[in-house]
Amino acid sequence: MLNGKNLIDGNWVGSPNTSISDDLDGFEFAQATLDQVDQACRASQKCFRKFSSISRKVRAEFLNQIADEIESLGEEITKTGVRETGLPEARLQGERGRTIGQLRMFAQLILNEDYLDVRIDQALPDRQPLPRPDIRLTHRPIGPVVVFGASNFPLAFSTAGGDTASALAAGCPVIVKGHGAHAGTAELVGQAIMAAVETCRMPKATFQLLQGAGRIVGTALVQHPEIKAVGFTGSAAGGRALYDLCHARQSPIPFYGELGSINPIFCLPNALLERSTQIGVDWAASLTMGAGQFCTNPGIMIGIKGKEFDNLQDAAVAELNDCASQKMLTKGIQSAYVAGVAHLRERLTELTQPRQTEKERYGIPAAFKTSARNWLSDKTLHHEVFGAAGIFIECDDESEMTELAERLDGQLTVTLQLTTSDSKLSRALLPILEEKAGRLLCNGFPTGVEVSSAMMHGGPYPASTDVRATSVGTLGITRWLRPVAYQGFPKELLHDELQATQNKII
């Protein structure tokens, strides 16, 4: 059952300020005060040393217990999520499975100490001209972490999502700033995590949940001196504002923000010759998945103008014209989508049939086309339209396609549609595109992010704020760790992973 309160240091606490959820029949959620933000941050720091010293085996059991608790609340979480977000039940069930899988993945990861990247330089007392001391390096938890829930993933990128799972696995207490679009879902997941805290006898402030406006609660959280790192998934404007706050602090802290991307697809000439129609159909399906509300939504399709690229566009547009309108996550997101489509309509040739819907919060797919020269000259076309809107960009030749690649901003993904006959052009493009994106795809579509060890979900700015970091996959744990070297220490004072010498000597 929802209580509408914030979770602070093991207690559900109300507030004089509340927010009403129309999706949940007027249910009221307490909005954290600045004093409560301060209490949560201080409690998080107070429990940090205890939680970070808990064995990796016990932390793994804790993560698995969270997964069990979410599983037991599964249908209640799904029902609430459907009401709040408008996402279909099957999508939320799948996302819940992904959330549980991430927790268990990090539990398994930390049972093996390889993720700590231990390095040992044994003493060389007889080395000339100077002896070398014994030096051993491991990675330690960075400190209390703040995680911002994402609007478009109420489970996998929010309360118990990848940022929270990886930070807890690393040994960092977490404060989640719940997203107002799904406050009820956030609270139910928070209840599941708190049940695991109690079952596993973790420190009470290991996990805390605060609801409230991002500009007030979020700003106070990232500026609090006890917070040591931040994870964020959201808009470029909101993420950049928080990034600037983190780096303007007296003691700057890392801000790991995933801010969005237009995820270009380059359709090479021989791929167009062989399967232009199928590529167009598949692109339309990828573009409209989840009403286009994915950070990996393929917003632009690039090809050399001609009959084959026309065929691709015709196939895609036919699919989009037949696609029903879809409910979007919030009124604000739907309004921004409508404004984004209107902006494109003023500047580009619209290919899809303009339609209207009387349904509140619903979005209608839209596709436009333009020349590469026009797209390159108008920077307003390079921004993400969060929803099912896409642009076909027609290049005059391979040289212009290469120029467009050179002038791309940072992206989460770039895709090449090619055949073996396109090897010369693909080899010319690949070194350029490697500089532009965190994940490169060949003959696929980017709206599916596998949760695995080899996944990279990040990219050069503005796709994310740290080109070295991923928010999906096991590598994500490195964001919440920092290297510490121990020189000349007796064995009994070293962490367990530093005491062994076999297979670790550099």
Active centre residues (catalytic): 258, 295
Residue count (the chain): 506
| Contact status, residue 348 vs residue 391, Cβ threshold 8 Å | yes
> How many Å apart are CA 116 and CA 95, to the nearest integer?
29
Through-space distance between the first and last CA atoms of the chain, rounded to whole angstroms: 54
Query: Residue 486: what residue type?
Result: Y
- Helix (H) or strand (E) holding 12, with range, is strand 11-13
Please give the single-letter amino acid code of residue 491.
K
CB of 446 within 8 A of CB of 286?
A: yes
DSSP assignment of 15-79 equals -S-EEEETTTTTEEEE---HHHHHHHHHHHHHHHHHHHTS-HHHHHHHHHHHHHHHHHTHHHHHH
Copy the structure tokens of residue 50. 């205890």
Token pair, residue 347, equals 């500047």
Could you give the 3-state DSSP secondary structure of residue 120?
strand
Q: What's the gap between Cα 8 and its chain centre?
A: 25
| Residue 207 to residue 59: CA distance in whole angstroms | 13
Strand 366-371 with 349-350, pairing? antiparallel
Give the integer Cα–Cα distance in Å for 218 and 211: 9
* Residue 479 and residue 135 in contact, taking contact as beta carbons nearer than 8 Å: no
Radius of gyration of the chain (CA): 24
